[in-house]
């Protein structure tokens, strides 16, 4: 099995650290990448970390995981709440996907309470800031070892 994990980030997450620090903290996407790569190394996995504002690109990257990655950590951003295409991609690849959100989506607007990603993902972590990505990597590797 591949010893690589794909960490995917959706729309507007490239803006981390530039505004809304009350919701998303003050660190940047580059900081988050460094945390994920370091956590992956500690777990014995290489982490490939990507961000796109395009739904189709995220679908393509989930398809790419089928043969090349042991699992995926996915923060689909606002596509979480709208994208049947992402849900179908996750359901069709046969690779474990763990959903993560920086904020607690259930404490926010009603439209954020629905997640199409959750309908296909193995599990979901939200509300713990960047630490949620480390938790998701732990959960994924724990799953892969059992």
Nearer Cβ to ligand CA2 (52/75): 75
Q: How far is the CB of 48 from ligand CA2 (least distance, A)?
A: 19
What distance in Å separates the CA atoms of residue 134 and residue 12, rounded to the nearest whole number? 20
Of 62-91, which residues contact ligand CA2 (CB under 6 A)? Answer: 75, 77-78, 80
Q: How far is the CB of 68 from ligand CA2 (least distance, A)?
A: 24
**Angle, CA 39 vertex, CA 23 and CA 15 arms, to 5°:** 30
Number of shown-chain residues binding ligand CA2 (CB under 6 A): 17
Quick check: 11 and 78 in contact, CB under 8 A?
A: yes
Buried b (16+ CB within 10 A) or exposed e, 98-127: bbbbbbebeeeeeebeebbbbebbbebbbe
Catalytic annotation, pick one of 24, 69, 79, 133: 24
Q: How far is the CB of 39 from ligand CA2 (least distance, A)?
A: 17
**What does the block give as tokens for 98?**
């763990």
Catalytic annotation, pick one of 45, 101, 116, 133: 101
24 catalytic residue (yes or no):
yes
Nearer Cβ to ligand CA2 (2/12): 12
Quick check: 71 and 142 in contact, CB under 8 A?
A: no
For tokens 């395009």, name the residue.
Answer: 54
Query: Active-site residue numbers?
Result: 24, 101
Residues in contact with ligand CA2 by the rule CB under 6 A: 12-13, 15-16, 18-20, 24, 75, 77-78, 80, 101-103, 105, 112
């Amino acid at each position: 099995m591949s010893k690589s994990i794909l960490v995917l980030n959706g729309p507007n997450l490239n803006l981390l650290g530039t505004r809304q620090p009350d919701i998303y903290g003050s660190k940047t996407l580059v900081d988050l990448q460094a945390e994920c790569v370091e956590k992956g190394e500690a777990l014995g996995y290489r982490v490939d970390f990507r961000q796109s504002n395009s739904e189709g690109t995220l679908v393509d990257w989930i398809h790419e995981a089928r043969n090349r990655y042991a699992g995926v950590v996915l923060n689909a951003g606002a596509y979480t709440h709208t994208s049947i295409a992402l849900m179908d991609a996750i359901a069709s690849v046969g690779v474990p996907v763990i959903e993560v959100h920086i904020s607690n989506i259930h404490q926010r607007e009603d439209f954020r309470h629905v997640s199409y990603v959750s309908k296909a993902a193995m599990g979901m972590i939200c509300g713990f800031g960047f630490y949620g990505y480390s938790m998701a990597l732990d959960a994924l590797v724990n799953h892969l070892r059992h």
